[in-house]
Amino acid sequence: MKRVPQPVTRDLALILGLLAAAGLVPLVAGDYWTGVGIALLMAIALTQSWSILSSLSGYVSLGHVVFYGLGAYVVVASWGSLPIAVSLPVAALAAAAFAFVIGLPVLRVRGPYFVILTFGLAELVKFCVIAIEAAQGRASRLILGTPGLDTLFFLMLALAALATLLAWGARVTRLGHGLRAIRENEEAAQTLGVPVARYKLAAFVLSAAIPGAVGGVMALRATYFEPIQVFDPMVSFSMIAMAIIGGGDDLRGPLIGAIVLGTLSELLWASAPQLYMIILGLLLVIFVLFVPEGICGRLLRPAPPMARR
Amino acid sequence: MLDTLLSGQLLFAAVAISATYALVALGLNLVYGTMRLLNVAHGDLVMLGGYGAFWAFSIAGISPLLTLIAVAAAAAALGMLAYRGLFRGLLASQRAAARLESNSLLLFFGLSIIIQNAVALAVSATPRGYEYLSNVVQLGNAALTGNRLAALAIAVALLAAISLFLRMHLFGLAMRALIEHREAAAVVGVDIDRVQLASFGLGFGTAAVAGALVSMTEQVSPFMGFPFTIAAFVVIIMGGLGRIGGGIAAALVLGVIETYGVALTSASWRSILLYGVFVLVLMFRPQGLFGRRAVVR
């Protein structure tokens, strides 16, 4: 096997350096900027995780919010009985376990049907959680005594770094090469001996874990839990838009997409949420039609040394 | 409990929702069958049709039964415009079509988000409704409102008319031929371009009509479309691509599961049942319940 390509590892060092620098934000800036930082770091953690499965293998998940929501549910349900040092890892494990269980039947479905199936699955889980909560006689929960903003910021920073590391690992190992082969031609990859089903499942599980923990942290940040909010399909939609706009194949793509859309969301979400969604939809349509390789693929690597496809 | 389950009222509700699903799915079947791209914005046409009827009634007092024709024509025009302006070009070039295939769903999802939020921005996200033909009619032991009866009658009539058209009329047969086997249809002299144009018109038009009918009995809101898209997918996958009879049978199965399921549990189970059937069908029976050919390739 060929040696690890150099640029990806350089990108990793660059991103981790940026994240380390971002760690200064709570120390020098006020709560407002710390809050903005949490939102951006969340976007980075989610989009990097999403890209492990969807950008590399081409199995575009439109239901990744299900892992985020399940993680939030685990942390909230165990609030008061488990410390977050335990409940956050459990949230990640629960999300990964769920991906493992549904992975085999779900990953047999391909192309646009996989996309719509993941969406339907996330909605199904959402309505199930709503029904479970309603059966216990509550529509929402308040969580008291959550950690302070700075703690949540550093937790999210760690998750963003971890997601980036996982995304890097998935790109430089056999797994990543196999996933890219699956994306280009699944039958050919299988013929050449890529363990297709195992790789897809591994990528699915890897891409589910961090979003589970992210959901848990965001539930603590909201101090409020409502199934319809933590399972909002727009979370999935944002992940896709960020990865596609940034360019998901490149390790820097999810970061750039998350920063671009995260900033836009910060400017517009509170004042004009519908306008934000319209812009998001327009951007997605434009990028899918005209710039499918994303900002990274188009601008940052204009002349690759050799044909990469 | 047993009384409720055996009541004519519940049976009627099941048939009524089935007819709506069948109508929405028929439109999606035509568009999907000829284009082979999943239009997840199909449900939004239902929503737009519903708003058309709502506005015409609440602003000008025009009966939704009249608006039906107008929204059908407007949506059909929109469909033909979309075909001529966008899809014909995209489908003509093999490379563009191949590239689009993998991302088509994201494209339509983006469009759907734009449409939904533009409507929410232009009016408001609050659900709206109106009272039309809400007098109660006694039918056997079931008490029904006039608007439900009228909506069902129109949906069934339209379904019957389109089925007959697709079975009897030469142009309808050409549509089915195109859905069945594109190349073969071209070889035997089907004018692909005209048939596709007509399929878009008919598909978009029926969705808008379904929306106008739904608005007579239920509230309209910018985000009401998606469950209809999902229901239509279930119906197409279970019933089979291009199979009108299979689609109607599948719509009845879905309508019965949903209506009786909700009666046995509670209203909050409606979505669980709809998405549950959707997920199960897509995961385990992609070849359909009545058809042999796979819809999911």
Instruction: Give contacts of B278 with chain A, Cβ < 8 Å.
Output: 120, 124
Task: Judge whether A20 lies within some domain.
Answer: no
Q: Are A277 and A234 in contact (CB under 8 A)?
A: yes
Task: Judge whether A260 lies within some domain.
Answer: no
Task: Judge whether A79 lies within some domain.
Answer: yes
pLDDT above 90: residue A158: yes
The H or E element containing residue A224 is strand A224-225
Q: Which pLDDT score, from 0 to 100, does residue B242 have?
A: 74
The H or E element containing residue B143 is strand B142-145
pLDDT above 50: residue A307: no
Task: Judge whether A289 lies within some domain.
Answer: no
Q: Which residue has the higher pLDDT, B37 or B235?
A: B235
Task: Judge whether A16 lies within some domain.
Answer: no
Instruction: Give contacts of B279 with chain A, Cβ < 8 Å.
Output: 117, 120-121, 124
Q: What is the DSSP string of A116-140?
A: HHHHHHHHHHHHHHHHHHHHTT-S-
- Structural domains for chain B: 2-284 (1.10.3470)
Q: What value does the mean pLDDT take over residues B90-118?
A: 78
Which structural domain, as residue segments, surrounds residue A48? 32-231
Binding-site residues on chain A for chain B (CB distance < 8 A): 58, 60, 62, 105-106, 108-113, 115-117, 120-121, 123-124, 127-128, 130-131, 134, 237, 240, 244, 274-275, 277-278, 280-282, 284-285, 288-289, 292
pTM for the full predicted model: 0.88
Q: What is the pLDDT of residues B146-173, one digit of tens each?
A: 788 888 889 999 999 998 888 888 888 8
Contacts of residue A247, defined as CB under 8 A and 6 or more positions apart, other chains included, come to A253, A256, A257, A293, A294, A295, A296, A297, A298, A300
Q: Which pLDDT score, from 0 to 100, does residue B96 have?
A: 64
- Sign of the Cα torsion A127, B109, A263, A302 reads positive
What is the spatial distance between Cα A116 and Cα A96, in angstroms, rounded to a whole number? 20
Task: Judge whether A272 lies within some domain.
Answer: no
For chain A, how many structural domains are there in total?
1
| Percent with pLDDT over 90 in chain B | 30
Q: Is the interface score ipTM higher than 0.90?
A: no
Q: What value does the mean pLDDT take over residues B223-237?
A: 90
What is the spatial distance between Cα B96 and Cα B89, in angstroms, rounded to a whole number? 9
Q: What value does the mean pLDDT take over residues A173-185?
A: 91
Q: What is the pLDDT of residues B58-76, one digit of tens each?
A: 888 888 888 899 999 999 9
What is the spatial distance between Cα B124 and Cα B58, in angstroms, rounded to a whole number? 15
pLDDT above 90: residue B10: no
Task: Judge whether A21 lies within some domain.
Answer: no
Tell which of A261, A275, A288, A291 to mutate to test the B interface (max B CBs under 10 Å): A288
Q: What is the pLDDT of residues A244-255, one digit of tens each?
A: 999 878 889 899
Q: What value does the mean pLDDT take over residues B2-27?
A: 86
What is the spatial distance between Cα B43 and Cα B20, in angstroms, rounded to a whole number? 12
Q: Which pLDDT score, from 0 to 100, does residue A7 have?
A: 81
Tokens of A189: 């990859």
Q: What is the pLDDT of residues B77-99, one digit of tens each?
A: 999 998 888 777 777 766 666 66
Task: Judge whether A143 lies within some domain.
Answer: yes
Tokens of A7: 């640029």
Question: What is the residue type of A295?
Answer: I
Phi, psi for residue B137 in degrees, rounded to 5: -110, 135
Task: Please give the C-alpha separations between residue A241 and each of A47, A222, B159, in angstroms, as whole numbers.
Answer: 9, 23, 38
Q: Are A142 and A223 in contact (CB under 8 A)?
A: yes
pLDDT above 90: residue A121: yes
pLDDT above 50: residue A1: no
Q: What value does the mean pLDDT take over residues A260-279?
A: 88
